[in-house]
Structure 1
Amino acid sequence: MRKISAEKAVRIITLAPVMAFLTLSILFGVRNGMFGGGANYAAAVFFLTVLPLLAYPLQKVLPGWKEKGRSGQRSLAILMAVAGYIAGILYAVAAAVPEGMLLVYLAYLFSGCLILLFNKGLKIKASGHACGVAGPLALLVCLLGPAALFGLPVLGAVYWASLRMGRHTWKELILGSMLPIAALLLAVLFLRLF
């Protein structure tokens, strides 16, 4: 059996869909009323965790993607995440979820769109990994208060692992961390205006 390095373990444990599951579970445990029921929690887990995670096994079997290696895996992961976020928004509107839950879906959708815009549209590499940790952390602070800053060491671990493995530069990590904060502010503004 192949040994996994500490850096690789950190990057696996902190994949964006894993962090989404952890965030949703914390919110459901602490503020389950914001979900409007267990079915909405299950739907959020499906749209924000399961669909994005499907990119990893699908990349190995989908024609046109399996030949692209890690870059293909990264691209498919972003596309599957955004597809899950769009489907989640459609569900949220159809199910008339409470506003706190709609905020979560909007923040994820806007984050995914910003990562897609920067990485694919503008060709400015922003760390999706940092985004996938900073976004949930920002959501928890917004919804639970400053006590949620206990999660900052997790973001530090992602920076450490990404730098050690040569996956990202400081600039890419910082940009990836700033995009979900901007997305959350956009989501809050959107909900206030509409």
Structure 2
Amino acid sequence: MTDKPFSYRTARFISTLFVPPSFTIIIFTWLALRLEYELWQRILVIGVALTFGFAFQILMFFHFKNKGMIADMDASVKEERTVPFFVAILIYAMGLLVLLLTKMDPVIISFWFCYISNTLIVIWINKYWKISAHALGASGPFGVLVYMAGTGSLLFLVVIVLIGWARIKLKMHTFAQVAAGTIAGFALTYFQIIFIVKMLKEQGWF
């Protein structure tokens, strides 16, 4: 059996490295350091991201893979995605509850809520079409970066392009599915954050 081409191995590395939960740790660490001033708040936000946004999510997919409920860690079979995605929402909801009870910054809360709402939308779309969760999982963080840093965050587009290329190269998605995931992830996240932060401000959250 011949080895896979270098381009394929590179695509597999990028796809594995940049699974959606990876961005959860990176972005929420940045948000914690940027928005929270007390040490305990920063530790809590990072801890919530590490626990509910990364570790539990990865372990959940391993569990479903070992039980034979999904074909692979990519959940490449469209029909197998619904149950893992609903479980992911329950895990995210637990994290959201912690952030709400401890009254973390509205941007942090609103962005975390986006993980729940965006996953629900993906479940609905997935009934008809296999949108790229990888692309959506990368462009969502881009939405909060643009909200926080404006044009200074445009370099992040390079990461999104690399992920999109990798998913197409691996034949996991078509260009249209990657493009749709990218646009949906950014737009849904960016506008939800604007709306939720405004709502929390009106409610006297800060």
Query: Is TM > 0.5 for Structure 1 vs Structure 2?
Result: yes
- Tell whether the 8 Å contact from 1:55 to 1:73 is kept in structure 2 after alignment: no
1:59 equivalent in alignment to 2:61: no
1:100-179 alignment, distance < 5 Å: 100-120=107-127, 123-179=128-184
CA drift of 1:5 comes to: 0.7
SS of the residue aligned with 1:5? helix
The alpha-carbon deviation at position 73 of structure 1 amounts to 6.5
> Do 1:8 and 1:161's aligned partners in 2 also have CA atoms closer than 8 Å?
yes
Question: What is the number of equivalent residue pairs in this alignment?
Answer: 188
Aligned to 1:11: 15
**Alignment partners' CA distance in 2, 1:102 and 1:5:** 37
Between the aligned partners of 1:166 and 1:14, the Cα distance in structure 2 is 16
Which residue in 1 is equivalent to 2:204?
A: none
Q: What is the Cα deviation at residue 84 of structure 1?
A: 2.2
Query: Post-superposition shift, 1:181?
Result: 2.4
State the shift of 1:183 in Å.
2.4
Deviations 1:22-44 (A, max 9, x none): 21223334444399331232113
RMSD: 2.5
Give the whole-Å Cα distance in 2 for the aligned partners of 1:6 and 1:30: 33
Per the alignment, in what secondary structure is the counterpart of residue 97 of structure 1?
coil
Structure 1: gaps spanning 5 or more residues: none
Q: Identity of counterpart residues, as a percentage?
A: 18
Aligned residue number for residue 83 of structure 1: 90
Counterparts of 1:74 and 1:141, CA distance in 2:
29
Whichever residue aligns with residue 21 of structure 2, its letter is P
Q: Is the 8 A contact 2:130 2:177 kept in 1?
A: yes
Structure 2 distance, partners of 1:56, 1:86, is 17
Matched-pair contact (CA < 8 Å) for 1:47–1:88: yes
Structure exhibiting the larger radius of gyration computed from Cα positions? 2
Render the CA deviation track for 1:86-140: whole Å, top value 9, x for unaligned.
Answer: 22222222222221211221222221121112113xx122110101111111112
Contact 1:47 1:85 in 2 (8 A): yes
The alignment status of 1:22 with 2:29, answered yes or no, reads no
How far apart in 1 are the matches of 2:99 and 2:170? 38
Unaligned runs of 5+ in 2: 201-206
- What amino acid maps onto 1:69 in structure 2? A
Instruction: Check the 8 A contact 1:52/1:84 in 2, yes or no.
Output: yes
CA contact (8 A) 2:21 2:58 kept: yes
Corresponding letter in the other structure for 1:136: P
Looking at structure 1, the residues matched to 154 and 167 of structure 2 have their Cα atoms a distance apart, in angstroms, of 21
Displacement of 1:77 after TM fit?
A: 4.3
8 A contact 1:110–1:187 mirrored in 2: no
Of 134-143 and 80-89, deviating more is: 80-89
Deviates more, 1:24-33 or 1:8-17: 24-33
Q: TM-score, normalised by structure 1?
A: 0.84
Deviation of residue 168 (structure 1)? 0.5
| Separation in 2, partners of 1:136, 1:59 | 26
